[in-house]
Structure 1
Amino acid sequence: MRTVQADATDVIDTAIAWHLRLAEADARAWADFVAWLEASPAHAAAYDRVAAEDRLIAAAPFRSGEDARAGNDNVPAPAWRRWAGPLGGAAAAAAIAAICLPMLLPMRAAPYQVATRDGERRTLSLEDGTRIQLSGGTRLVLDRNDPRIATLEQGEALFHVRHDAARAFTVKVGEVAVQDLGTVFDVAHAGSRLNVAVAEGSVRFQSRGPAVTLKPGDALSARADGTSIVQTRIAPQQVGGWRDGTLGFDGQPMHEVAGALKRLYGLEIALEGSLSERPFTGLVRFSGQAERDVPHLAELIGASWRRDGKRWILSSETPATP
């Protein structure tokens, strides 16, 4: 019996503590309180008892020492004693929680994915006025409840961001965040590397180290973990050049060049020997016609080419003369 009474006393003590705490509770406290109420009917009953006794106190005249000396018995109870209103108790607390929690708690993420196949392009218009152009072979994750955040899992996209001084638009790539400061910028993510280039405005590149601000014509290459950062320059009008077939490379290995053509046009290009790691620098205009683009690329890098079904093969070795 003593154990039962002790348990009941503990529940009452907890109910009193909650009753006092709720006057200045934050969102987390309200959530914890509702969970405590729903854990046991005894909790709700105890809280109702505490709230009922509190209402009796609230109904009684409140007399300060000065009021007592003046004989004033009709002073209303303080406002903090009347917070529960006519409902009172657990019902009032639950009702208040139902109204306040959706406003106080952060909105849950509602992610959805937008993807393009190799050789496919797509343009998205978000609710906040931002427009995103996706290149081929791209996978982007957005949030229906928060149009100011995107995650580029792979591929390339050009962002035309409607600037909001109160909430920057953020693109996440691996462990890196790229935030707009009112801008048009391009982000590419292939393998373990990412590239950012700015056409208009500026962006903040945030990795493990100090943030880097990029302005029009600034470009940056880094690993997806935010290391090995290299900054370069690019003509602002060339940013997002993939839309008209203009691709610029600055020392990227040939396998990245081949990957860009696969995403953009769906071309299957195999690189033999050491050609895969050979660095390539140049600005090339592609037509999207493999019969024209592949021989042109081979000529630029001094390689030979041949076709095997749908696959194009580039080699650094000159084919033997029959």
Structure 2
Amino acid sequence: MMNQEALAWVIRTRDPQFDDWDAFTIWLEGDPTHAGAYDALMAADADLEAIIPPEPVAMPVAANDVEPRRRPWRWVGGGAVAAALVAAISIGTLNRADIYTVTTQPGETRNIALGDGTKIELNGDTSLRLDRKDARFAALDKGEAAFTVRHDGANPFRVTVGDAVFEDAGTVFNIVHAGGATRIGVSEGKVIYNPQAEAIALPAGRGLANDEQGLRVMDVTPTAVASWRQGSLIYANAPVTQVGEDIARSLGITVRFTPQAGVSRFTGTIRLDRNPARFFAGAAPLMGLSAVQQGDAWLLKEGDAPQN
């Protein structure tokens, strides 16, 4: 049933005249599995030329008959096309060997070089899907990744994050997807957010966040974008809870906050250090907090008392 619903939306949203994006968004948000099914069917769409046979040669039409209007196969719902598309997903895309996942553990980083010249750098606790048949596709399922993209105007690089799409225009950018929130910062070139919907252009020095506060665009410092690659974290009035998430991802440790400390904000630069005790000895006072080790975790609390 879900595949049939997803198929119907694929067919509708492929139509250049489709404009019912509100209903489509409601359907996507109605079930966490909807976005995955839709994305899988959209990916399979590119392979269907090899699955669906060519259109048969048209039969002669009597002079007094009106030849039926022909539409491209991809706009036609139901019947053999629908069956072929669902079958392609069932036996192909969802399990095919060319879709693969690259993961990192908390505190681990990894570099990936794609065949088109694009470079992806994964921070800790990250999961990214790639396609061996399509070097212009990536899906960030969780974590943080920096992208240095070779521009190709005829074949733009796209990153899907949940039900959002980021499309490059010759770009260096960083995406974080964690805790139901998504953040992107652009340091070079330009990224288009959801080119088929909002189509928000993000040039260098601009960022976008989509979290519990909604969708918003803001200025960012280009040198702060993906600064974790140079061993530092740079912030401008960021919630310290966000800082804590970034520390945990980069260093592979658990960071907690007391309620009072968790509502504070931070502006500044924090140097990363693989030694947690040494790191917090310098980082906690910068945030106006103190750090206490609790087993394998670190608790940040208000005040600048020395660590225990």
Fold equivalence (TM over 0.5):
yes
**Could you list the runs of 4 or more consecutive aligned residues of structure 1 that deviate by over 3 angstroms after TM superposition?**
24-29, 107-110, 317-320
Q: Is the 8 A contact 2:144 2:174 kept in 1?
A: yes
CA pair 23-181 structure 1, distance change in 2 beyond 3 A: same
Query: Structure 1 residues 296, 208: closer, same or farther in 2, change over 3 A?
Result: farther
CA distance in 2, matches of 1:198, 1:263: 20
Identity percentage of aligned residues: 33
Say whether the 8 Å CA contact 1:131–1:161 is kept in structure 2: yes
> d(CA) in 1 for partners of 2:195 and 2:296?
40
- Give the match for residue 149 of structure 1: 137
Q: Could you list the per-position Cα deviations for residues 46-94 of structure 1 after superposition, in whole angstroms to 9, with x for gaps in the alignment?
A: xxxxxxxxxxxxxxxxxxxxxxxxxxxxxxxxxxxxxxxxxxxxxxxxx
Separation (CA, whole Å) in 2 of partners of 1:188 and 1:281: 19
Structure-1 separation of matches of 2:240 and 2:303 = 15
Give the one of 272, 293, 302 matched to 2:288: 302
Alignment of structure 1 residues 156-235 onto 2, 5 Å: 156-206=144-194, 210-223=198-211, 228-235=214-221
Matched to 1:137, the amino acid is D
Q: For the residues of structure 1 that align with 2:156 and 2:304, how far apart are their CA atoms?
A: 53
Partner of 2:116: 128
After superposition, where does 1:1-322 map in structure 2 within 5 Å?
Answer: 22-24=56-58, 32=80, 108=93, 110-206=98-194, 210-223=198-211, 228-316=214-302
Q: Which amino acid aligns with 2:261?
A: L
| 3-state SS in 2 of match to 1:259 | helix
Paired with 1:271 and 1:245, the residues of 2 have a C-alpha distance of 23
Aligned counterparts of 1:230 and 1:286: Cα–Cα separation in 2 = 28
Matched-pair contact (CA < 8 Å) for 2:224–2:235: no
Aligned length: 227
Task: Give the equivalent residue in structure 1 for 2:10.
Answer: none
In structure 2, distance between residues paired with 1:27 and 1:160: 36
- What one-letter code is carried by the residue in structure 2 that aligns with 1:210? E
What amino acid maps onto 1:302 in structure 2?
Answer: G
Residue by residue over 1:174-212, the C-alpha shift from the partner in whole angstroms, topping out at 9 and shown as x without a partner, is 221110011111111111211111121111112785311
How far apart, in 2, do the equivalents of 1:284 and 1:319 lie?
Answer: 19
Per-residue deviation, residues 222-258 of structure 1 (Å, max 9, x unmatched)? 239xx82332223323321101222122333222211
Task: Please identify, of 213-222 and 133-142, the stretch whose mean Cα deviation from structure 2 is larger.
Answer: 213-222
Q: Is the 8 A contact 1:245 1:288 kept in 2?
A: no
Distance change in 2, residues 1:114/1:174 (3 Å) = same
Which is greater in Rg? 1
Q: CA deviation at 1:313?
A: 1.8
Q: 1:295 is paired with a residue of what secondary structure?
A: helix
Superposed CA offset, 1:84-135 (max 9, x none): xxxxxxxxxxxxxxxxxx9xxxx95742111000010101111222110001
Aligned-partner Cα distance in 1 for 2:211–2:295: 35
Distance in 1 (CA, whole Å) between partners of 2:272 and 2:57 is 67
My pick for the range that moved more, 190-199 or 131-140, is: 190-199
| Root-mean-square deviation (Å) | 3.1
SS at match of 1:23: coil
**Aligned to 2:281, what secondary structure does the other structure show?**
helix
> Quick one: distance in 2 between partners of 1:245 and 1:318?
24
Pair 1:167–1:318, CA change in 2 (3 A) = closer
Please state whether the residue corresponding to 1:258 is helix, strand or coil.
helix
| Matched residue, 1:10 | none
CA distance in 1, matches of 2:139, 2:122: 13
Q: What SS is found at the alignment partner of 1:22?
A: coil
Q: Partner of 2:137: helix, strand, or coil?
A: strand
Q: Which ranges of structure 1 fall in alignment gaps of 5 or more residues?
A: 1-20, 37-101
Once the two structures are superposed, residues 242-295 of structure 1 have per-residue CA deviations (whole angstroms, 9 ceiling, x without a partner) of: 012221223332222111111101122221232223222323222333122212
The DSSP-based 3-state class of the residue aligned with 1:229 is: strand
Greater mean deviation of Cα atoms: 114-123 or 144-153:
144-153
The answer to whether the 8 Å contact 1:157/1:188 transfers is yes
SS, match of residue 141 in structure 1? strand
CA contact (8 A) 1:248 1:284 kept: yes
Structure 2 residue identity aligned to 1:22: P
TM-score (norm. length: structure 1): 0.62
Q: For residue 143 of structure 1, report the CA deviation from its aligned partner.
A: 1.8
